[in-house]
Structures are given as C-alpha cells and as structure tokens.
Amino acid sequence: MKNPLNIAIIGSGGREHAIIKKLKKSPKTARLTAIPGNAGIERDGVPCHFDIDPLDVSAVTKRCKSEKFDYVVVTPDNPLALGMVDELNKAGIRSFGPERKAALIESSKIFAKDLMKEYNIPTADYAAFSNGSADALKYTRESFASGKEAVVVKADGLALGKGVTVCFSLEEAEAAIRGAMDKKLFGKSGESIIIEEYLTGTEVSVLSFCDGSTVVPMASAMDHKRALNGDAGANTGGMGCIAPNPFYLPEIADLCKEKIFDPTIEAVKKEAAPFKGCLYFGLMLTEEGPKVIEYNCRFGDPETQAVLPLLESDLLSIMTACTDGTLTADMVRFMKGASSACVVAASKGYPAKYETGFQIKGLEASAGENLDVYCAGVELEDGVLVTSGGRVLCVSAVADSLEQAIRGAYGGLEKIEFENKCFRTDIGEQALKRGISAA
C-alpha cells in the first residue's frame, strides 16, 4: 500500500459527516480535515476550516495546497458545478468528484434531458424553453387543455433544491413559470426551464460509484422529501431515508443497470467528460418501467447517511479507484440482509422560516452500536452545541430488519433534545406496509 492519505472533505452537512465517519475507519487514511465542516464534525476530532467559503474554488484550492492534502473529496453540487475538481487537478491534487463538464448532468437539466433523449435513456417527456415565458405559458395551457392532470416545471440550473414544482393546475404552473423566468426567483438558474410530463410510481434513489467508464451501484434508498407525514407539506432536501429500498427488486436493478446506468456513463463520457465520483440516479418505477427523474452529480443527503453505514468494503479504496479509473464491481460490498434507516431532526418551520440558536442535548446518550448521529445545521456558541440550520442532524440505525432499523433510529432520536425540534414520524412506514422483501 502507498503512504496513507491526508484527506480534505469539502462540505458541511450530515452527508459529509457520514462520509468522514466511514473514511475514518480506513487504514489508508492518515488525517482527515473538513472545509468548512461543522461543529458536530469537529466534536468528532476532525479539524474544520470554518474561515473558508466552500464556493470559493480558488481559496479552497490554495488551502488544499498549503495544507498539503493528498486527496480531496468534493461533495456538494455547487463547488462541483463551479469546477473545483478541475482546479484541484490543475494544482496537482487528486480528488473525488466529477469535473465541471461531467457535473453538467446535474447543473443543467436541459443538458441532462437532451442527453437522455439522444441516448434513449427512459425519462419523462419534456420541452425546454428560454428567452422569456411566452412560449412556456402557451405550451402549458395546451397541455392542460389536452387533458394532462399535472406538469412539472424545472429550472435548468441549480436552485438550492427549490427549482422543481409539481403543478396540478394551470394556475400553479403559470406561477411557477413566471416565478422562474420573469421574476427570476432562481436568478440565472431559472432563465431557462423545462416542462416535464408528470410521472407516477414509486421513487428510488440509487447512488453509484463511477470511474469514468464503470458504474457500480450502491444499495438503493428511499428518500422522504416532503416536510410532513404522509408525504404532505413542502418539498425539502429530505427528511429521512431507508436502505435498501424494498420496491427496487433484483430484476428492476438489472434492468436499470442495462437501460439507464451503463448508457448514462457512456453518454456523459462521449458528450461531456468521463464521470468520476458519485452519480445519483433519481428514478421513478412507473408502469412502463423505471424512468429517470433526475441525476445528481454527488452523494445524496440524507441517502448517504442511510446507505454508507451498510457499506462493508473500504470507502477510501473505492473512491481512489474512481479517481484512478480502476473501479471494479467486486470492490463494492454491502451488508447482505441488513437494513438501515435515518431520520432527520429539523428546526420547526423548515423548509421555510425557522429559529436557530437552541442548545442541543443528548448526543452522547443517543449514540450506540449500529447507531450514528450525523450533524448538519449545528454550531458552537460559547462552548455549547446549538442549532444553526434547517436540517439540524440525523440519526441513522442499522439492523437485521427494516422494522428494527426504523425503531433504532427513532429510539436514538428520542434522546436528543432541542427547542423547536421537529421530524417526520413515518419514515419507512410505506415501505413496511407493502411488506415486499428487500432487493
């Protein structure tokens, strides 16, 4: 083995905390640092660089050079879209994550949809619009007039997870189109939009490791995106997750590999640049078969907090194989027969307005074997850990059955206290009810 690596992780969420916890276990890790990280990550003995803005590509690259990091894991969408991996590579620093051109698969929905169309990758029908709202409004009126029950309006660019609106009426669709294109609610990201066919079915998230040519899927997951029980309320970054997703049966997984995953990695290589890093497939299992809802060029949050605890093999070896183009399927082993669940504790009001600054108690009590707490919106105030964001933390449990994993995660979450703590109480319930055996 070569010398152990001095590693930096870019990002500050629960997802980064989960990656760090896994990398800590690698015999190939010498030292870990987070840029910027959060107070919960620092509490775990990982130094954080709070003075650096993770969107400042040049400042991050300079710091990585001056601190002599050998390997940098770039996790969030925005730095990837800004070309942080390209800059690090230019500076001679190896990194995990796609270059800017390959990251277009998330940072431009029009690019992603055109790619799928060109390469016959199953996805919702769509039309793309730019240069003002008139044509988009006309198209939408015609869609509803022809009997469509809904359309989905999507800003082309990154919009902090807020760029997608599922519209069940013409009024809603008109408001979404005008908001993006005329009122410029998402800035440049909404100047172009797509209007998509509304798909129905069960959603599955599949994160995968990619080395530019080979794609190896991880355990599947089911996110719970809405703020409230029963999938009601506003769309959020994700309120909880289970893995594996019991609806993602082995024959569906095989079909996805053949019709979606492999063709996607080939298409990106041809049309943009080889995709190296984690490619996230957001899928809808429709009556016509699995279709792509979205691609993300990064690990999902909170999918990562449910999926990585099930990974048996060494994460750092897999990541460096992605970077070096030497990934093989046998490097990636997940626990057989085990399930995991993670539940997010948020600040009341999230994803809209919420208060912060409340003391968080009970973190020690909630950790245990097969149970982890991953911090996100937390900071230190006079030496006390307090809330500082919408999604504050999540508790993740692994067990022999999904039911036990869910119980474990909620058991851990109960012991954590902070004012205005809120969470969904039905994570994994729908999956349990259907009682299908896991893939």
By CB under 6 A, is residue 164 in contact with ligand AMP?
A: yes
Out of 40, 246, 290, 300, which residue is the one contacting ligand GLY (CB under 6 A)? 300
Q: Which of residues 99-128 bind ligand AMP (CB under 6 A)?
A: 124
Q: Which does 86 bind (CB under 5 to 8 A by kind): ligand AMP, ligand GLY, none?
A: none
| 159 Cβ neighbours under 8 A, 6+ residues apart | 186, 189, 190
Question: Is there a contact between 412 and 71 (Cβ–Cβ < 8 Å)?
Answer: no
Measured from the CB atom, the residue of 77 and 211 that comes closer to ligand GLY is 77
Helix (H, G, I), strand (E, B) or coil at 394: strand
Quick one: 282 or 289, whose CB is closer to ligand AMP? 282
In terms of CB distance, is 201 or 274 closer to ligand AMP? 201
Q: Stretches 128-136, 293-301, 397-405, 427-435: which one binds ligand GLY (CB under 6 A)?
A: 293-301
Among 303, 314, 372, 379, indicate the residue that binds ligand GLY (CB under 6 A). Answer: 303
Q: How many helices (H) and strands (E) does the chain have?
A: 16, 22
Residue type, 255: L
Of the two residues 86 and 223, which places its CB atom closer to ligand GLY in the complex? 223
Tell me which of ligand AMP, ligand GLY, none is bound by residue 211, counting a contact when its beta carbon lies within the kind-specific cut-off of 5 to 8 angstroms: none
* Rg for the chain, CA atoms, rounded: 21
Q: Determine the distance from the C-alpha atom of residue 32 to the mean position of all C-alpha atoms in its chain, rounded to a whole number.
A: 22
User: What single letter denotes the amino acid at residue 28?
Assistant: K
Min CB(17)–ligand AMP separation in Å: 21
Instruction: State in angstroms the smallest separation of the CB of 237 from ligand GLY.
Output: 6
CA distance 107 to 189: 9
Among 5, 19, 115, 152, interactor with ligand AMP by CB under 6 A: 152
Q: How far apart are CA 82 and CA 4, in angstroms?
A: 29
Q: Based on the shown chain and the rule CB under 6 A, indicate whether residue 153 belongs to the binding site for ligand AMP.
A: no
Choosing from 180, 199, 345, 393, the residue that interacts with ligand AMP (CB under 6 A) is: 199
Per-position DSSP letters for 23-55, written without gaps between them: HHT-TTEEEEEEEE--HHHHHTT--B-TTS-TT
How near is the Cβ of 19 to ligand GLY at its closest, in Å? 13
**Distance in angstroms (rounded) separating the CA atoms of residues 291 and 286:** 7
Among 55, 166, 335, 422, interactor with ligand AMP by CB under 6 A: 166
CB atoms within 10 A of CB 17: 30
Among positions 95, 296, 305, 388, the unique one binding ligand GLY when judged by CB under 6 A: 296
> Which segment (37-45, 68-76, 195-203, 425-433) binds ligand AMP by CB under 6 A?
195-203
d(CA 423, CA 416): 12
Contact 202, 431 (CB under 8 A): no
Q: With respect to ligand AMP, which residue has the nearer C-beta, 390 or 408?
A: 390
* Residue 338 contacts ligand AMP per CB under 6 A: no
Stretch that binds ligand GLY, among 2-10, 30-38, 294-302, 395-403 (CB under 6 A): 294-302
Among 156, 211, 294, 314, binds ligand AMP (CB under 6 A): 294
Restricting to residues 226-255, which ones interact with ligand GLY according to CB under 6 A? Answer: 237-238
If one asks whether residue 235 binds ligand AMP (CB under 6 A), the answer comes out as yes
- Shortest CA distance to 322 belongs to which of 207, 206, 212, 208? 212
**CA-angle at 226, arms to 107 and 156, nearest 5°:** 20
Number of shown-chain residues binding ligand GLY (CB under 6 A): 7
Under rule CB under 6 A, how many of the chain's residues touch ligand AMP? 15
Whichever of 163 and 190 has its CB closer to ligand GLY, that residue is 163
Closer of 131 and 168 to ligand AMP (Cβ): 168
What gap in Å lies between CA 214 and CA 265, rounded to an integer?
7
What tokens appear for 77 in the block?
């969408």
What's the min distance (Å) between Cβ of 164 and ligand AMP? 4
Query: 88-95: which pairs have CB atoms within 8 A and are 24 or more residues apart?
Result: 88/61, 88/64, 91/61, 91/64, 91/65, 93/61, 93/64, 93/65, 93/69, 94/70, 94/320, 94/323, 95/71, 95/323
Minimum distance from residue 225 beta carbon to ligand GLY (Å): 7
Strands 421-422 and 384-387: unpaired
Residues forming contacts to ligand AMP in the complex (CB under 6 A) are 124, 152, 161, 164, 166, 196-199, 203, 225, 235, 282, 293-294
In the complex, the residues that contact ligand GLY under the rule CB under 6 A are: 223, 237-238, 296, 300-301, 303
